[in-house]
Amino acid sequence: MSRTTTSSSNRWLALWSALVVIFVIGPLLLVFAVSLTTHDFMSWPDEGISFKWYAQIAQRTEFLQAAWNSLLLGVGTAAAAVVLGLAASLGLNRSRFTGQSLLRTVLMTPLFVPMILSGLAILAVFSQYGWSHQPSRLFVAHLALTLPYVIRTVSASLMAFDTRQELAAQNLGATPWQTFRLVTLPQLGPGLFAGALFAFIVSFDNVGLSLFLSGTNFSVLPIQLYSYASYNNDPVVAAISVTMVLLSILVVVGVEKTIGLEKLMR
């Protein structure tokens, strides 16, 4: 390949990358601009910049309570998904039994079924058995949705797992629990952390399932924002959305500084 052809390919690649960045970042920048408007409705900040809508977030108790509910639900879902996902991954990757492929497919089905259909189906089952406790049924639904993410990340870690370290620990007299705690878990740490992070983000931002399973007694932040935006047109929703994006960026930066994204994704 000639130098001219290579230079032309690099220019096209740079142009394509720039278009992708604009496509991803453009809507976020637009929402950020709307959140700075001085008007009392969604509009471009053509008469100056104001942070009053960010100041109003602390005054909206319904959003703060919904955010707290989403945080608790996300943390609880991630913790449970890590425990169950670790057990499922170890069983699927280190055992051979009849129906193994079928079980793996069944565990992955929440990734392929539309969340609207899943929400309706789960709501129908819960209603049939009189399960009306909103926090617990949201927890079960979010756990079913996020479990495949943990299974996928932990299974990927198991593909590169060095079983010789387990054998060496056992030969040196370590019990099965000591081997699991001191040898197995540290090697699977990045995969477990990545799975927990995915589970938390998916749970925290979920709308499809939460729309059918939440209610007045227990509302999560995405549904609270959806309900508020349906009847109101002030930019506080944009301010909250920008705040959520900034918090997500801070989480990613924190992971990069403490663990490293490259190491996490191995």
d(Cα 148, Cα 133) in Å, to the nearest integer?
Answer: 25
Is residue 69 included in any domain, yes or no? Answer: yes
Residue 256's pLDDT is what?
67
Residue 45's pLDDT is what?
83
pLDDT surpasses 80 at 252: no
pLDDT surpasses 80 at 8: no
Give the domain CATH number at 130. 1.10.3720.10
Is residue 212 included in any domain, yes or no? Answer: yes
Residue 57's pLDDT is what?
84
Structural domain including 113 reads 60-264
Instruction: Tell me how many degrees the CA angle 55-61-64 measures, rounded to the nearest 5.
Output: 80
d(Cα 119, Cα 222) in Å, to the nearest integer?
Answer: 15
Total number of domains constituting the chain = 1
Is residue 42 included in any domain, yes or no? Answer: no
Residue 76's pLDDT is what?
94
Residue 73's pLDDT is what?
93
Is residue 5 included in any domain, yes or no? Answer: no
- pTM of the model as a whole: 0.81
Residue 147's pLDDT is what?
92
d(Cα 177, Cα 167) in Å, to the nearest integer?
Answer: 13
> What is the b/e burial string over 86-116, where b = at least 16 CB atoms within 10 angstroms of the residue's CB?
bebbbebbeeeeeeeeeebeebeebeeeebe
Percentage of residues in the chain having pLDDT higher than 90: 11
124-150: per-residue pLDDT in tens?
A: 888 888 888 888 899 999 999 999 989
Is residue 110 included in any domain, yes or no? Answer: yes
Rounded (10°) angle between helices 61-94 and 100-108: 170
Q: Are 6 and 213 in contact (CB under 8 A)?
A: no
Region 225-238: what's the mean pLDDT?
A: 84
Confidence of residue 258 (pLDDT cuts 50, 70, 90): low
52-88: per-residue pLDDT in tens?
A: 888 888 888 888 899 899 999 999 999 999 999 999 8
Q: Could you give the 3-state DSSP secondary structure of residue 131?
A: coil
pLDDT surpasses 70 at 260: no
**Tokens (6 digits) for 147:** 């479990």
DSSP letter string over 84-122? HHHHHHHHHHH---TTHHHHHHHHHGGGTS-HHHHHHHH
Alpha carbon distances (Å) from 126 to 69, 132, 173: 20, 7, 49
182 alpha carbon, distance to own chain's centre: 28
Is residue 203 included in any domain, yes or no? Answer: yes
